[in-house]
A and B are shown apart, each in its own frame.
Chain A
Amino acid sequence: MPPLLALDAVVKDYASEAGTFRALHGVSVEVQKGEFMAIMGPSGSGKSTLMNIIGCLDTPTTGTYRFEGTDTATLSEGALAKLRNAGIGFIFQQFNLLPRLSALANVALPMVYSGVASGERNARAQALLASVGLADKPRSRPSQLSGGQQQRVAVARSLANNPQLLLADEPTGALDTRTGVEVLGLFRALNEQKGVTVVIVTHDPEVARATNRVVRIQDGLVFYDGPPTEAALYGHAEATA
C-alpha cells in the first residue's frame, strides 16, 4: 500500500519584484496512514508553504506530491476540490472563517459543497461545535467570538466531512493551555479511534511531544525527521540527527 502522503524533492519558488525566493529547497517526506506528527521550525522556514502544498491549495514548483499514490499534478480541478472538501481537513494559521456567516454556518459550509441535506448538515455542525466546547454559540458571527473560540470553530469545520487527513497550522497558537490540551486531545482521539492522519505545525515543544514523529524544517530543508526526542523538540536536533 502506498503511503498516504509522499513528497519527493519538492521545491517551491515565490516570484516577487525582488526576484524569485525559494521557500522550499527540495523537501522529501513520506507520511503513512494513521500517523500523528508535528512539523516544527523557526518562523519563515517554510512550514506553511509545505502545508499549503500538502493541502492541495498550492502546487510544487518542481518535484512531485503523491496523495495515496496518485500524483496530484495529474488530478483535475474537480478532483482537487473534492479532495480539499472531504479528503483533507485544513485548520489555517489565520482561522479563515467567513465573517458574514454564523459559527454554525461556517462549520456546515464544507457539507454544503459535499451535498449533505440541510437537516443532517445542521445537526452535525451543531454536534461538532459541541465537541469543541461551543455548543452555546452557534449563532455568533466570527467577529463576536474570541480568538480561541474562532480557532475552535475552524477545528470543528475541518472535521465536517470526516477527512482522513487533518492538517493544522498552529492550531493551539491562539488557545490557552487548557483549551489547547483539549483540542489536542480531540486530535489524538480522532487519530486513535478513527485512524485519521494528523499533521500539526507547531512552535510549542509540549504539543510536539504529544505526537509520534517530529519533522524539523529550517530554511526550506528538512533538518530532522524522527521521534520527538528532547533535542528534536527544543531545536538542538543537529546534534543528534
Chain B
Amino acid sequence: MIYTMLIEAWSALVANRLRSALTMLGMIIGVAAVILMLAIGGGVQKQVSDAVSGLGSNMLIVTAGSGRQGPLSGGAGTGASLRIEDADAIAKIDNVAAVAPSTSLAAQVVAGPVNWATQVTGTVPGYFTVNAWPAGDGRLFTDREDRAGARVAVLGQTVADKLFGANDPMGQTVRIKGVSFTVVGLLEHRGQGFGGQDRDDVIVVPLTSALRLLQGNAIRRSIRIISVGVASAAALDQVTDDIATLLRRLHRLRAADQDDFSVANLTAITDTLSTTTAAISLLLAAIGSISLVVGGIGIMNIMLVSVTERTREIGIRMAIGASRAAVRLQFLLEALMLSLIGCGIGVAVGTGLAMLAGRFIGFDTAVTVFAVVVAFAVSASIGIFFGWWPATRAARLSPIEALRS
C-alpha cells in the first residue's frame, strides 16, 4: 500500500511540475546553505588542526615586547628586549624540552640572474625540532655551524622553486644583502599558515650569521622570537608562568612595570580561530534554518491549496473506503516527497558550492556523509511538520461534502 501511495504521490507532484519545483526552492536554498556551512566549518577545523600540528605540539612562543622610543610604543616584536641570554635561561626551566631563539627580516635574495623577496629567519638547529620541521632534502645546519656563524642556508620549497626552478639548489650560492650563503638543505613542504601566508616562502640561516651579517651588529644580540618546546601539554601553563617570572627578573622589571615580552600559547591562537569559525558557521546556520522554515511554510501553503483543489478526489477516495488515516498519509507523503526531493537537490547544489568555495578560500571543504544524513533528517522532519496540518485538513473532510464540491 505504501509503495502504491508513493507512486500516487509522485504522480500528483508531476501533474503540477512547475508548482512543485517552485515549492522546493526554499528547501533547496536551506539545505544548500546547511551543507555549505558544515563543509566550510569542517574545512576550517581541519585547516586549524593541520596548522597547529605543523607548528609542533606543546609549543610556546615568547615575543619581544613593544619597543619604546620616548613616549611612542611600537607593535609587538619591535622592541629589542629579548636576548640570547634569555633563551639560555629559559632552557634551564623545568619541563622545557627545547628552546629556539630566532630573528627574522625581509630581504631580497639573489641567485645568479634571479631574485626573490622573502623572509630570512636566523635561528638555531633546535628551531627545526621545536617546529617539527625536518629537512626534505639535503641537511639542516648544525650547532657548530651556528656558533661559528657559518654562511649556510636551508631553503623553503617556495624559495627554492622561485630561485632555482627545476634545478637542484643543493650546493648553490644565494646572496642575501650582499653576503653569499651556500644552500645545504631543503625544508619539507609546509603549506599555509593561519593567516593564509605561505610558510614555505622562507630561508633559514644560523642565528649567529643572521645577527652578525644581516643586522650588521652582533653586539646587540637581540632576537624577536623564542620558540619553546614543552615536555608535555600538562606542563604548558606552569612553564608559561615560569618564563614570565624569569624574564621579569632578568629584565629587572619592577612590580609596576608592564611585561616587555609576551608568552603566547597555541591554544590561545586556536581559540581565536575557532571563535571566528563558529561565527561564520552560526551565520550560515541562521540563513539555512530561516530558508528551511520558509521552505516548510511554502510546502504547507502549496499543500493547503492542493487539498482545496482536490476536495472532490478526497471525497471519492473516502467513498470507496479510504480511511482518514490513509488520506492523511497520502498528503503527508506528498509533503515529505517535496521536502526530500528539495533536500536532494539542495545537497547537490550545496556540494557544488562547497567545492567552489574550497577553490576560492584555498582549503578542503569536504561534504561529509554525516552532513548529508543530517540534511535529510531535518528535511524529513520539516516535510512531516509542515505537511501535518494540510494532511489533517484533508482527513477531516466529510465524505459527502467533499463529493459534492
Task: List residues of A whose CB falls within 8 A of some B CB.
Answer: 52, 55, 57-58, 77-78, 81-82, 84-86, 90, 92, 96-98, 100, 109-110, 112-115, 118, 157, 161
Contact = CB atoms under 8 A, between A and B. Distances in A.
B319 A114 contact: no
Contact of B319 (A96, A100, A112, A115): A96
B321 to A, nearest CB: 2
Contact of A96 (B3, B12, B316): B316
B12 A100 contact: yes
For the residues of B in contact with A, the DSSP-based class is helix
A90 B318 CA distance: 12
Contacts of B4: 112, 118
9 contacts: A58-B400, A81-B318, A81-B323, A85-B321, A86-B321, A96-B315, A98-B316, A100-B11, A112-B1
A77 B397 CA distance: 12
Nearest to A77: B324
B319 A90 contact: yes
B320 A85 contact: yes
B46 interface: no
Contacts, number: 64
A52 B318 CA distance: 13
Contacts of B324: 77-78, 81
Most buried by B among A55, A92, A100: A100
B326 interface: yes
Nearest to A121: B4
Given A112-B4, A118-B3, A57 B400 contact: yes
Contact of A109 (B12, B317, B403): B317
A110 B3 contact: no
A216 to B, nearest CB: 24
Interface of B: 1, 3-5, 11-12, 15, 313, 315-326, 399-400, 403
B403 A81 contact: no
A57 B398 CA distance: 8
Contacts of A157: 320
A81 B397 CA distance: 13
A139 B322 CA distance: 23
Contact of A115 (B1, B313, B320): B1
Nearest to B325: A78
B400 A113 contact: no
A194 to B, nearest CB: 19
A113 to B, nearest CB: 5
Contacts of A112: 1, 4-5
A78 B323 contact: yes
- Most A CB within 10 A of own CB, among B1, B313, B325, B403: B1
A161 to B, nearest CB: 7
Nearest to A116: B1
Nearest to B12: A100
A113 B326 contact: yes
A115 B322 CA distance: 11
Contacts of B321: 81-82, 84-86, 110, 113-114, 161
A118 B3 CA distance: 9
A85 B403 CA distance: 16
Given A58-B400, A85-B321, A109-B317, 14 more contacts: A57-B399, A57-B400, A77-B323, A81-B318, A81-B322, A84-B318, A84-B320, A85-B320, A86-B321, A100-B15, A112-B5, A113-B322, A114-B321, A115-B1
Closest 8 CB pairs of A and B: A85-B321, A81-B323, A58-B400, A57-B400, A113-B321, A110-B320, A84-B321, A96-B316
Contacts of B315: 96
Given A98-B313, A100-B15, A57 B323 contact: no
Nearest to B11: A100
B14 to A, nearest CB: 10
Given A98-B313, A100-B15, A109-B317, A52 B400 contact: yes
Contacts of B317: 98, 109, 113
A78 B316 CA distance: 16
A90 B323 contact: no
B58 to A, nearest CB: 66
B184 to A, nearest CB: 78
